[in-house]
Amino acid sequence: MPKCTINGKEIEVKEGTTIIEAMYSNDQKIAHYCWHPGLSVAGVCRLCMCEIEGNPRLQIACNTVITEGMKVNNTSEKVRDAAKWGLDFHLINHPLDCPICDQAGECGLQDQYMEFGKYDPEMAERKQKKHKVVDLGPTVVLDSERCILCSRCVRFTDEVTKTSELGIFNRGDKSEIGTHDGKPLDNKYSLNTVDICPVGALTSKDFRFRQRVWYLKDQETVCNGCSTGCNVKAYFNKEGFYRVKPQHNAEVNGYWMCDEGRDVYKYVNREARWLKAQKRTSAGWEEMLPGAAAKDASSVVKANASGTALVLTGQYSSEEYESVLKTFTQELGTKKVFHWVNNSSSFDSFDGLLLRGDRNPNTKGLLTAMEKFGLPASKWADLEAGLANGSITTVVVAGPENQVWFPEMKQVIQTLSKAKNLIWMQTGKNAELESLSGNVWLIPMKSYVEKDGTFVNYKGLAQKFKKVTTVVSEALNLSEAAQLLAGQNLMIKPETSVLVETARPADRVMQEHRKKNEFVMKRGTL
Amino acid sequence: MSVAQRENELQKWYLPGILGGLGITMKHMVKNLLNKKKMITLNYPEEKYEYSPRFKGNHVLTVKKDGSLRCTACMLCATNCPAECISITASEHEDPTVEKYPIKYEIDILRCVFCGYCEEACPVDAVRMGPEWQTPGLSGANFKYNIEHLAYRPQLKGGIQSVLDDEERHKAGI
Ligand code: SF4
Ligand code: SF4
Ligand code: SF4
Ligand code: SF4
Ligand code: FES
Which pLDDT score, from 0 to 100, does residue A508 have? 43
Is A314 within the bounds of a domain?
yes
Judgement on whether residues A193 and A282 belong to the same structural domain of the protein: no
Report CA(A136)–ligand 2 centroid distance (Å). 13
Mean pLDDT of B138-153: 87
Which of A162, A177, A209 terminates a domain? The answer is A209
Which pLDDT band, with edges at 50, 70 and 90, does A522 fall under? very low
Position in ligand 3 atom list of the atom nearest CA B86: 5
Say which residue, A497 or B60, is predicted with more confidence: B60
pLDDT tens-digit readout, B77-98: 999 999 999 999 999 988 888 8
In sequence order, what are the residues at sequence separation of 6 or more whose Cβ sits closer than 8 angstroms to the Cβ of residue B173?
A: A125, A126, A127
Domain count across chain A = 3
Strands (E), chain B: 59-61, 86-92, 100-108, 127-129, 144-145
Q: Which of A145, A138, A137 is nearest to A166 (CA)?
A: A137
Domain assignment of residue A449, yes or no = yes
Backbone angles phi and psi of B140, in degrees to 5: -55, -30
- What pLDDT does residue A524 have? 38
Partners of residue B69 in chain A, C-beta under 8 Å:
none
CA atoms within 13 A on the CB side of B95: 6
Q: Is the pLDDT of residue A469 over 70?
A: yes
Of A5, A15, A11, A39, the closest CA to residue A25 belongs to A11
Q: Which of A209, A211, A510 to mutate to test the interface with B (most CBs of B within 10 A)?
A: A209
> DSSP class of residue A161?
S
Is B112 a pocket residue for ligand 4 (Cβ < 6 Å)? no
In angstroms, the CA A149 to CA A33 distance is 9
- B123 contact residues in A (CB cutoff 8 A): 99
pLDDT at B3: 65
Question: What is the DSSP code string of A434-464?
Answer: HT--SEEEEEEB--GGGS-EEEE-TTS-EEE
pLDDT given at position A304: 87
Q: Does residue A32 sit within a domain? A: yes
pTM, two decimal places: 0.87
What atom in ligand 2 is closest to the CA of residue A166? 4
What digits encode the pLDDT tens for the residues A104-118? 999 999 999 998 888
Q: Output the ligand 3 site: residues, CB below 6 A.
A: B 80-83, 85-86, 107, 112-118
Average pLDDT over residues A297-302: 90
Q: Are residues A67 and A129 in the same domain?
A: no
- Residue A205 belongs to domain spanning: 117-209
Question: At A35, which CATH number?
Answer: 3.10.20.740
Q: Would you say residue A291 lies in a domain?
A: yes
Helices (runs of H) and strands (runs of E) counted in chain B:
5, 5
Query: What's the CATH number where A281 sits?
Result: 3.40.50.740
Mean pLDDT calculated for residue range A43-60: 94
pLDDT at A281: 87
Asked if the structure places residue A386 within a domain, the reply is yes
- Predicted pLDDT at A511: 42
For residues A263-268, give the mean pLDDT. 91
Instruction: Please check whether residue A209 touches B, CB under 8 A.
Output: yes
Number of alpha carbons in the 13 Å side-chain half-sphere of residue B108: 13
The pairing of strands A140-142 and A202-204 is: antiparallel
Asked if the structure places residue A459 within a domain, the reply is yes
Residues A184 and A72 in one domain: no
Q: What is the model's pLDDT at position A525?
A: 38
Q: What is the mean pLDDT of chain A?
A: 89
pLDDT band of residue A500 (cuts 50, 70, 90) is low
Residues A175 and A78 in one domain: no
Tell me the average pLDDT across A73-98.
92
pLDDT at A516: 40
In angstroms, what is the C-alpha Rg of chain B? 25
Q: What is the pLDDT of residue A120?
A: 82
Residues A180 and A133 in one domain: yes
Q: Which of A295, A101, A293, A111 has its CA nearest to residue A200?
A: A101
In terms of domains, do A70 and A139 share one? no
A432 in the same domain as A351: yes
Tens-place pLDDT, residues B25-61 = 999 999 989 988 888 888 888 888 888 888 999 999 9
Using pLDDT thresholds of 50, 70 and 90, give the confidence band for residue A33: very high
pLDDT at A505: 56
Distance between CA atoms of residues A18 and A24, nearest Å? 10
Task: Please tell me the predicted confidence (pLDDT) of residue A293.
Answer: 92
Comparing A53-57, A486-490, A505-509, B24-28, which segment has the lowest mean pLDDT? A505-509
Q: How far apart are alpha carbons B74 and A31 in whole angstroms? A: 27
Same domain, A12 and A76: yes
User: Using the beta-carbon criterion (under 8 Å), do B89 and A100 form an inter-chain contact?
Assistant: no
| Helices A290-303 & A478-485 angle (0-180, nearest 10) | 50
Q: What span, in angstroms and rounded, lies between the C-alpha atoms of A320 and A313?
A: 12
Question: Would you say residue A518 has pLDDT above 60?
Answer: no
Q: What would the pLDDT profile of A207-244 be if each residue is shown by its tens digit?
A: 999 999 999 989 999 999 999 999 999 999 888 899 99
For position A200, which CATH number holds?
A: 3.30.70.20
How far, in Å, CA of A292 to CA of A283, rounded? 19
Q: Per residue in A342-351, pLDDT tens?
A: 888 888 899 9
Q: Is residue A497 in a domain?
A: no
Residues A132 and A36 in one domain: no
**Å from A245 to nearest chain B CA?**
22
The verdict on residue A515 lying in a domain is no
Q: What is the ipTM of this complex?
A: 0.81
Number of A/B CB contacts below 8 angstroms equals: 53
pLDDT, residue B2, reads 63
**Best of B87, B113, B149 to mutate for ligand 3, by most ligand atoms within 8 A of CB?**
B113
Query: How many helices (H) and strands (E) are present in chain A, helices listed first?
Result: 13, 22
Q: Are residues A123 and A64 in the same domain?
A: no
Confidence of residue A47 (pLDDT cuts 50, 70, 90): very high
Which one of A188, A209, A230 terminates a domain?
A209
Residue B121 has pLDDT above 60, yes or no: yes
Asked if residue A430 has pLDDT above 90, the reply is yes
- A37, A72, A90: which is the final residue of a domain? A90
- Tens digit of each residue's pLDDT (9 = 90 or more) over A362-396: 999 999 999 998 887 678 888 889 998 888 999 99
Which stretch, A155-159, A409-413, A496-500, B62-66, has highest mean pLDDT? A155-159
CB-based contact, B90 to chain A, within 8 Å: yes
Share of chain A above pLDDT 70, in %: 93
The predicted-structure confidence for A66-82, as pLDDT tens digits, reads as follows 999 999 999 999 999 99
Tell which residue, A56, A45, A49, has the closest CA to residue A74: A49
- Find out whether the beta carbon of A103 lies less than 6 Å from any atom of ligand 1: yes
A284 sits in the region (left: phi over 0; alpha: psi -120 to 50; else beta) called: left
Q: Are residues A283 and A373 in the same domain?
A: yes
Mean pLDDT of chain B: 87
- At A75, which amino acid appears? T
Pair (A299, A436) in one structural domain: yes
Sorted by where each starts, the structural domains of chain B and their CATH numbers stand as: 1-41 (no CATH), 59-171 (3.30.70.3270)
Residue whose CA lies nearest to ligand 4 atom number 8: B74
Q: Does B75 touch chain A (CB under 8 A)?
A: yes
